[in-house]
Structure 1
Amino acid sequence: MTPRDDSEPSHSRWSDLDRPPLNATALRRALVREGGLWRQVEVVQSTGSTNTDLAARAARGEAGEGSVLVAEEQTAARGRLDRRWSAPPRSGLFFSVVLWPAEVPVARWGWLPLLTGVAVATGLSRAGGVDTALKWPNDLLVTVGGEERKAGGILAERAGDGGVVIGVGINVSLRADELPVPGAGSLALAGAEGTDRDPLLRAVLRSLEDWYVRWRSAGGDPAASGLQETYAAGCATLGRTVRAELPGDRSLVGEAVAVDGDGRLVLATEAGVQEPVGAGDIVHLRPV
């Protein structure tokens, strides 16, 4: 008999008893149903990036709308502006979904990452009992020790001939000594009532289905679907003085006063002009 090597516990999916593996069978049973959005739910132990994998499948015609890919660990995860990040195995929720809103004008697809942010915040509040806020356009914020911290992010990418792959990464059980950067946080550090990833993932995906169906049924109209109002209500960026780091090494400082019908952040500058920002990095300069 070959002895078990206790010096490499990371190879065992049960090595960290505080972080049990997701139950793929139970997730499929809870989420995949006739007439529902989610068609298939797959859980893999490790991959570079669920977004990269699912986008490649969609491009090959192997992943249609409602496909969900979840990873217990990502080794080459990507965020907005091609930022890289990593987290210990099973310490968070790392997943991507394929959406294919053919009946919605492409001009309104920019609302998809904002919609996902609303859905994630709603699902985590229901299942985890944790207060969250959204930083425009799609960062999830929690409060740790009285400070605002980023606990999650969203990345939307086009795939195939009309699909969109949306990736979500949420720090769930990350401890203080595991935080990748000082401004990071986790649901556990924010005092979440529950950090069991199975019910959290179910709640987030059900919330995403609800919001997506509502938005799609309204032809992508953010006002008619209630998305624009709900996003604004949960957006921590509004009412603050912010600096927008724009493409081309430009920056713009102003008060964030609204999110317009195209999902852009509207800044009121000192020059008395309201300027919409559709892309860029936002830095909060002043608390509400």
Structure 2
Amino acid sequence: MNTPPGAEGNPPDGPREPRSSRWSDLGRPPLDVAALRRALVREGSLWTRVEVVPRTGSTNSDLVALAAEGMAEEGAVLVAEEQTSGRGRLDRQWTAPARSGLFFSVLLKPTDVPVSRWGWLPLLAGVAVATGLSRAAGVDTALKWPNDLLVTVGGEERKAGGILAERAGSDGVVMGVGINVSLKKDELPVPQAGSLALAGAVNTDRDPLLRGVLRSLEEWYGRWRAAGGDPATSGLQETYAAGCATLGRVVRAELPGNRSVVGEAVAVDGDGRLVIATEEGVQEPVGAGDVVHLRPA
């Protein structure tokens, strides 16, 4: 097991770690921050800084605050071994046992891309996470529009991860990612949740999983920026649609004001909106910021 940052371990003849020590779960060792930095922070890389903290409320809130204070630059990565106030869309809570998943945020500043195209960043992160995990964990993944990661457990689709984007000042976006890695059935926050382990992942070592996801995110972000944020030219729109489990299904999009749109999800348009074909023959696009819930109809 890697010694956690700031800990030197006990001398050979000294007292053993108490059974309640947070480092005593050998099945869930801490991340190796030194190895992560060597692998990710290098010349020419997007990633400029990698920090791992034992526990925090929300990596997104922390990184937004650091950016506001001028203490974080593009490519900063903040990882928590445990989050106590993790958030999803619409401030929904995200909780998991310590070191059972990947909980991290990154700061991006795509100032060379029109702000009108920044809405693609959560979808870009979804593609990058799904691609990175498929390679590193050997598990099939899919995306539920706009930002949920799905895996298959016992023949049933389950949510195993989510993405939250928040503005950081006038020139930045903090992307938060939460992924259930080693959660067991009795640890799931709700019965409908899933984890990579329950989906039969061949690898649940969080170090290579995090490296794989961040390298995939760097690749897709670079491709998207090189195309000026154009989702078609960069291949992002096509790749997202190919991996989106929502398309082709009849859904109900619940909107503010007790309004809803029911129909078949037929496309993701150039603005990242889900296009729903209703029974009335109307194709109605709905944006992620407008949807309260998206459910099977």
User: Normalised by the size of structure 2, how large is the TM-score?
Assistant: 0.92
**2:271 counterpart SS class:** coil
What amino acid sits opposite 1:229 in the alignment? Answer: E
Q: 2:217 corresponds to which residue?
A: 208
Q: Is the 8 A contact 2:17 2:24 kept in 1?
A: no
Task: Write the mapping of 1:220-231 to structure 2, written as runs, cut at 5 A.
Answer: 220-231=229-240
Q: In structure 1, how many angstroms separate the alpha carbons of the residues matched to 2:196 and 2:219?
A: 23
| Paired residue secondary structure (1:98) | strand
Residue pair 1:59, 1:161 contacting (<8 A) in 2 also? no
What does 1:66-81 align with in structure 2 at a 5 Å threshold? Answer: 66-81=75-90
Match of 1:118 among 127, 136, 153: 127
2: CA distance, partners of 1:233 / 1:90 = 31
Q: Output the CA distance in 1 between the equivalents of 2:17 and 2:130.
A: 41
Q: Is the Cα contact below 8 Å between 2:102 and 2:179 reproduced in 1?
A: yes
CA contact (8 A) 2:224 2:230 kept: yes
Three-state SS of the structure 1 residue aligned to 2:129 is helix
Displacement of 1:5 in angstroms is 8.2
Unmatched segments (≥5 aa) in structure 1: none
SS in 2 for 1:248: helix
Distance 1:158 1:39 in 2: 19
- 1:283 equivalent in structure 2: 295
1:134 equivalent among 143, 146, 158:
143
Q: 2:70 aligns with which of 54, 61, 67?
A: 61
Q: 1:83 aligns with which of 67, 81, 92?
A: 92
Deviation at 1:246, TM superposition (A): 1.2
1:193-245 CA-to-partner distances (Å, cap 9, x unmatched) read: 10000000000000000000000010000000000000000000000000111
Question: TM-score normalised to the size of structure 1?
Answer: 0.95
Give the distance between the partners of 1:20 and 1:48, measured in 2 at CA: 20
> Which residue identity is paired with 1:49?
S
Coordinate RMSD, CA, aligned:
1.3
* CA deviation profile, 1:265-285 (whole Å, cap 9, x unmatched): 000001110000103121133
Q: Secondary structure at the match of 1:232?
A: helix
Letter in 1 for 2:254: E
SS of 2:267 mapped into structure 1: strand
Name the % identity: 80
Correspondence list, 1:1-288, <5 A: 6=18, 9=20, 12-279=21-288, 280=291, 281-285=293-297
Instruction: Give structure 2 stretches of 5+ with no counterpart.
Output: 1-13
- Residue 13 of structure 1, CA deviation: 3.6
The CA deviation string for residues 162-221 of structure 1, in whole angstroms up to 9 with x for no partner, is 100000000000000000001100000000010000000000000000000000010000
Distance in 1, Cα, partners of 2:29 & 2:257: 45
**Distance in 2, Cα, partners of 1:55 & 1:284:** 34
